[in-house]
A and B are shown apart, each in its own frame.
Chain A
Amino acid sequence: MSRNTGDEKKTSNHVPRSALPTRRQFLTSGVSLLAMSASSTLFGAQDEETRAPIDPMRVPGLSPRPYGERSRFERQTRLVAGTFSTTPLQDLQGIMTPSALHFERHHNGVPTIDPTRHRLLIHGLIDRPMVFTVEELMRFPSTSRLAFLECSGNSRDGWGEAQDVTVQALHGLTSTSEWTGVKLSTLLDKVQKQRDATWMLAEGGDAAGLARSVPLTDDVLNNAIVCYGQNGEALRPEQGYPLRLLLPGFEGNINVKWLRRLKLGSAPFMTRWETATYTDLMPDGTAYQFSLVMDAKSVITKPSGQQQLQPGFYEIQGLAWSGRGRITSVEVTSDAGRTWQEARLQEPVLPTCHTRFRLPWRWDGRETIIQSRCTDETGYRQPTRDALINVRGVRSIYHYNAIQSWKIQRNGFVSNIYA
């Protein structure tokens, strides 16, 4: 729906005979021609505009290459704005986010770090303060899991007036990857954590020195990973190369990137990012602090904001996720909330991961509103915007997770509204 590369000329199998090279031309031209700039007279059968062969079965293809790239017909990109960029949720398939499209947020740029010079220091309330190289961490027994990461400021426009933009611009600060590394508990055993160590400062090696206090709960000790891998290769620089902390289900920024130091203590360290920012201001003037878990949220990605529909069949698709575990149910309405239908959850359905939901639907050309609402394994159900605002007001910036409404106008245009 958002692509514009599929016009008939390029996908047609019907090729006029005169446009094809003769057998002799083809044999003498050979593979070396592939390296030359494409010319319609040599290849005869190339599309003028895209320079792709009209019949790829009649032209030898490309050679292997050391590092792959997607087809040049694919144009999905992150949307870059200031100190962050958003994932094109409307273009994703399945539940994984390609590393190149994983959202970014940084506080003074993406540092360039030589992994051979990078060190992780662990100190504080432990018996053995230690320094690890990246190479040493990679030699520890490894662990791997899929997890979503979501910036707690994701969807923050929802607190204000409805913006007429895409799902990517509204909700694109969330992504799912496979993360590989060494369990935090393995390292804390190694340095002999002391009993009264109940908090841990995690500090990044970027030009903000971003640092957060992590409560050392059983949940954290069981699930936290010091990661060096993402989707089968090293972390991307934007994701913390060469080391980051992963706390599945927790707000993005506490999954500290470019991790250089862990300091154990008996109280939170009260850095700027857990006092001045990433605290949720309530209408009474007090603020929630250490609101770390991301509550359940879902959003329909197809169809979604700024897309154009024609009457007929569509499979409604979207993503749902919860920091508190698995998504157990997603309901969808296509008649502005009068009736709700159970959507099908597409496997795999994993804890603290994007979960894809689907529901067949026929748009009859009438104006309507579509919405999704999810429930997670704790029984928590995604709230309406009214219910959320009723408790938290509209000034808390973070953790907006209300039901998203898309209005479909009679002319087929989809836009963001509050309903």
Chain B
Amino acid sequence: MHKSLLVTAGVIGLAFLMTTAVWSADQHDSAVDLGRSATDEEIRAWDIDVAPDGQGLPPGHGTVAQGAQIYAMRCAGCHGPTGREGPQNVLVGGHKSLQTVKPLKTIGSYWPYATTVYDYLRRAMPANAPQSLTPNELYALVAWLLYQNGIIAENVELDHDSLPRVEMPNRNGFRLDPRPDVR
């Protein structure tokens, strides 16, 4: 009798100790004193993404005409004189081609947000010198690409205010993953 009581007490005690051990391991995970606070300056330097609502767009502006010059110098070698020729990704055209047997997915026919064009050019283009374009050059390039795709007029100047308000033709062309869709 006494013996079984002792065993019971022991089991309860052990369970308590194990609970405590697990609890302190969890506490330990988030209480580790590692890393340091990021300064505002660091965050500004690294925070290069641009959201569909325009958050992240820097000050600056650019016109279609300025974009044409920059495109010819920095982009045409890979994407062709008008953005239709390649050899790298075709950037212009493909309007209303998505339901056909030969869909042509370009900035004009497929991309849902104009802000994504700015974001992508800023972080990745030109491929041989990424992150070398200034905000004004980027606004101008985006303007030229949108103009070539018939989305904005030739005299439009883009900046952090007007770019997010550009409506892309395929803005509503996407739906959330419905899989499993095949039975």
- B59 near A: Cβ within 8 Å? no
Residues of A within 8 Å of B36, CB to CB, are 130-131
- A313 near B: Cβ within 8 Å? no
Q: Is the CB of B181 within 8 A of A391?
A: yes
Q: Which residue of A lies closest to B172 (CB)?
A: A286
Q: Is the CB of B174 within 8 A of A286?
A: yes
- A123 near B: Cβ within 8 Å? yes
Given A132-B34, A292-B177, A387 and B183 touching (CB < 8 A)? yes
**Which listed residue (B48, B49, B177) contacts A288, Cβ 8 A?**
B177
Q: Restricting to B153-183, which residues have a CB under 8 Å from any CB of A?
A: 173-183
Residues of B within 8 Å of A136, CB to CB, are 34-35
CA distance A139 to B32 in the complex (A): 9
- A186 near B: Cβ within 8 Å? yes
Residues of A within 8 Å of B120, CB to CB, are 271-272, 276
Q: Is the CB of A190 within 8 A of B32?
A: yes
Q: Is the CB of A289 within 8 A of B127?
A: no
- A291 near B: Cβ within 8 Å? yes
B47 to chain A, nearest CB (A): 7
**Which listed residue (A107, A211, A293, A380) contacts B49, Cβ 8 A?**
A211
A194 to chain B, nearest CB (A): 15
Q: Is the CB of A186 within 8 A of B30?
A: yes
CA distance A403 to B130 in the complex (A): 41
CA distance A250 to B91 in the complex (A): 29
Q: Is the CB of A288 within 8 A of B119?
A: no
- A290 near B: Cβ within 8 Å? yes
Q: Is the CB of B105 within 8 A of A281?
A: yes
- A162 near B: Cβ within 8 Å? no
- B28 near A: Cβ within 8 Å? yes
CA distance A265 to B178 in the complex (A): 23
Q: Is the CB of B30 within 8 A of A107?
A: no
- B144 near A: Cβ within 8 Å? no
Residues of A within 8 Å of B71, CB to CB, are none
Q: Is the CB of A265 within 8 A of B35?
A: no
Stretch in contact with the other chain, from B8-16, B110-118, B135-143: B110-118
CA distance A212 to B103 in the complex (A): 24
Q: Restricting to A10-49, which residues have a CB under 8 Å from any CB of B?
A: none
**Which listed residue (A183, A260, A284, A295) contacts B46, Cβ 8 A?**
A260
Residues of B within 8 Å of A283, CB to CB, are 99
- B17 near A: Cβ within 8 Å? no
Given A132-B34, A285-B98, A289-B175, A208 and B123 touching (CB < 8 A)? yes
**Which listed residue (A129, A140, A289) contacts B37, Cβ 8 A?**
A129
Q: Is the CB of A270 within 8 A of B30?
A: no
CA distance A128 to B35 in the complex (A): 11
CA distance A314 to B181 in the complex (A): 36
Residues of B within 8 Å of A390, CB to CB, are 182
CA distance A265 to B38 in the complex (A): 17
Q: Is the CB of A211 within 8 A of B123?
A: yes
Q: Is the CB of A295 within 8 A of B37?
A: no
Q: Is the CB of A140 within 8 A of B34?
A: yes
CA distance A263 to B52 in the complex (A): 15
Residues of A within 8 Å of B51, CB to CB, are 265, 267, 269-270
CA distance A290 to B174 in the complex (A): 10
Residues of A within 8 Å of B47, CB to CB, are 123, 261, 263
Residues of A within 8 Å of B181, CB to CB, are 391-392
- A5 near B: Cβ within 8 Å? no
Mask: chain A, 269-305; 1 = CB below 8 Å from B; 0 = not = 1111001100101011111111111010000000000
CA distance A141 to B173 in the complex (A): 44
**Which listed residue (A123, A133, A288) contacts B38, Cβ 8 A?**
A123
- B25 near A: Cβ within 8 Å? yes
- A207 near B: Cβ within 8 Å? yes
Q: Is the CB of A141 within 8 A of B112?
A: no
Q: Restricting to B25-77, which residues have a CB under 8 Å from any CB of A?
A: 25, 28-30, 32, 34-38, 42-43, 46-49, 51-52
Q: Is the CB of B182 within 8 A of A392?
A: yes
- B124 near A: Cβ within 8 Å? yes
Given A121-B43, A130-B37, A293-B177, 8 more A-B residue pairs with CB atoms under 8 Å apart are A190-B30, A208-B123, A209-B123, A265-B51, A270-B51, A275-B112, A276-B116, A281-B103
The interface of chain A, by Cβ under 8 A from chain B, is 107-108, 121-123, 128-133, 136-137, 139-141, 183, 186, 189-190, 201, 203, 207-209, 211, 260-261, 263, 265, 267, 269-272, 275-276, 279, 281, 283-293, 295, 380, 383, 387-388, 390-392, 395, 399
8 tightest A-B contacts by CB? A209-B123, A285-B99, A189-B30, A285-B98, A291-B177, A129-B38, A289-B174, A272-B120
- 21 A–B contact pairs at CB < 8 A? A122-B38, A130-B35, A131-B36, A132-B35, A190-B34, A203-B48, A208-B123, A263-B49, A267-B51, A270-B112, A270-B115, A270-B116, A271-B116, A275-B174, A276-B116, A283-B99, A285-B98, A285-B173, A288-B179, A289-B177, A395-B101
